[in-house]
Structure 1
Amino acid sequence: MSRGARPSWKNGNLTSRAADGVEYGIFLFAYLAAAAFGTAMLHSVGGFAGALLMAIAVAPVLGVKETVPVVATAMMISHASRAWLFRKAVDWGAFRMLMCFGLPFIVLGVLFYVELSERAVALFLGTFLLVTLPLRRYLAGKSIAVPRRAIAVVAVPYGFVSGTSFGAGMILAPFMLGAGIVGETLLATVAVSGVMLNVTKTVAFGLSPLLTAELAAMGVALGLCTIPGHAVGRWIVRRTSIRVHTLVLETFVGIGAAYMLWKGVSG
């Protein structure tokens, strides 16, 4: 798709008109739906960076800057389905600390993001993707022994990074583990936090010119497509090795980083 293409609804069908006048309809939506399904499947297989993976897949179609608000809308639904599944295991005390101290910085991160040019966004996201590769390996399985109140402190960078990009869960996880939040309780608390995080991002983006009604509708549709993807991912994870999961995901993230940086440098 040429640069400047934007999705829209026409006669009830999702379409996008590129600068050269070519109109995309069902094929555009089929690709985006498949991307949402596939990245949700990879998220369930690898256990991290679901929103990051979706952003990489849809950015070439939606445009780099529009990707973050659309994926935030989609992830509301994705996290909500996971939160419902583990709702009885939520650590509500940790959740309240995350929200009280993190939400203002999510909004601040969104305001910072909205002011960036598309080229700056591409460079920022590409750099962040590259950083996540060694960071994930370094933090994998680590827990930093901390008192529970430390969650309030880490909520600040967690909130700001969440407002500007994706993958902030990698920052949060070691501190949650160190505070004794593990297993299903960790999954449940992160999922519920993800719902509120993405609701906040979607509302903040919705108050800006960046998230239009058409893009919000697309985000909801993509979110619905993630639900069966999680189910298939759970089926796959029982039949393949962790090493294969990690290799596939890191390759995908590396390609995404290269694409974002190329967009940022080439303009």
Structure 2
Amino acid sequence: MLEAIVLVLGGIGAGALSTMAGMGGGVLLVVTMSLALGPHAALATTAPALLAGNLHRTWLYRHAVDRGVALTFLIGALPGALVGGLVSARMPDTAIEVLLVIVTAFALARAAGKLEWKPSARAYLPFAFGAGMVAAGSGAGILVSPILVAGGLAGEALIATSSVVAATMHVGRIAGYGVAGLFGGAALVVSLLLGGGILAGNVLGGRVRARIGEAWCMRLTHLVLVVSLIAAVIGIAR
């Protein structure tokens, strides 16, 4: 029972964070689950939960989705995530943990304004394919944000469109994990508990976001990403 409560609370935190700041929730969830279960199990257990959370977030902010950008991006992201899911299932644990550190550090640098790289809109398809592969190996679609920001998206439009793209990536990586045999009954139970928490977190995050504003949301994201980076480094050092 205690483990179930912890999983639901973790899902609430991840959903709230992603809804408030548009990033960070997936990183936090995968890194913490990796410490508890190992990297391969973490990828498998979080994938269905994150898919449900992104679909729910897409529905909540459906009015703000940039359909043109989302369609262009998902054409590249879906096959990239499928290929990445197959590859990551065969990667050593250490390789996945190193990738988690790199992706988390990238997310922190982006959130803190230390990394201003913005790929051009012409790079949508090849970049989306690469982002899908990285997302499948790290469980986090954090590389989506730079190119969506480069396309002029911000606020609710960024949250809504990134949710559509992330959901597409999760479909691809779930298919890849399934073919590679990463899923089992226990993984699905854990994912169900996480998913329920993420849905509640999405609603909570939307309400908190409206009250505290963008600046405080980003401060919270910085804090969570710092903690996630430390946890990811600990995962390598174990």
Q: TM-score, normalised by structure 1?
A: 0.76
1:235 Cα deviation from its structure 2 partner: 2.5
1:139 Cα deviation from its structure 2 partner: 7.0
1:164 Cα deviation from its structure 2 partner: 1.1
Q: Does the alignment pair 1:54 with 2:29?
A: yes
- Counterpart of 2:192 (choices 210, 215, 220) is 220
Q: Does the alignment pair 1:198 with 2:173?
A: no
Counterpart contact for 1:59–1:67, Cα < 8 Å = yes
AA aligned opposite 1:112: V
AA aligned opposite 1:60: L
1:128 Cα deviation from its structure 2 partner: 2.7
Give matches, 1:1-267, under 5 Å: 26-138=1-113, 144=118, 146-147=120-121, 149-169=122-142, 171-240=143-212, 242-266=214-238
- Distance (whole Å) between structure 2 residues aligned to residue 198 and residue 104 of structure 1: 11
Higher helix share: 2
Structure 1's 249 and 101: CA in aligned 2 closer, same or farther, altered over 3 A? closer
Secondary structure of 2:180's counterpart equals: coil
- Quote the sequence identity (%): 20
- Distance (whole Å) between structure 2 residues aligned to residue 235 and residue 89 of structure 1: 17
Superposed CA RMSD: 2.7
Structure 1's 180 and 234: CA in aligned 2 closer, same or farther, altered over 3 A? closer
Counterpart contact for 1:127–1:261, Cα < 8 Å = no
Higher strand share: 1
Counterpart contact for 2:104–2:225, Cα < 8 Å = yes
- Distance (whole Å) between structure 1 residues aligned to residue 97 and residue 126 of structure 2: 29
Counterpart contact for 1:49–1:166, Cα < 8 Å = no
- Distance (whole Å) between structure 2 residues aligned to residue 95 and residue 247 of structure 1: 27
Q: Which ranges in structure 2 are unaligned for 5 or more consecutive residues?
A: none
- Distance (whole Å) between structure 2 residues aligned to residue 46 and residue 91 of structure 1: 18
Which of structures 1 and 2 has the bigger CA Rg? 1
Structure 1's 209 and 82: CA in aligned 2 closer, same or farther, altered over 3 A? same
Counterpart contact for 1:126–1:261, Cα < 8 Å = yes
Q: Which ranges in structure 1 are unaligned for 5 or more consecutive residues?
A: 1-25
Aligned residues: 238
Greater RCO (Cα-Cα under 8 Å, separation 6 or more): 2
Q: Give CA-to-partner distance per residue, 1:141-183, whole Å, 9 cap, x none.
A: x695844x432232122222112114434x3334334334555
1:37 Cα deviation from its structure 2 partner: 1.0
Secondary structure of 2:112's counterpart equals: helix
1:212 Cα deviation from its structure 2 partner: 1.4
Q: TM-score, normalised by structure 2?
A: 0.85
- Distance (whole Å) between structure 1 residues aligned to residue 16 and residue 155 of structure 2: 20
AA aligned opposite 2:166: G
Q: Give CA-to-partner distance per residue, 1:18-60, whole Å, 9 cap, x none.
A: xxxxxxxx11111111111122222233331221122233333
AA aligned opposite 2:135: S
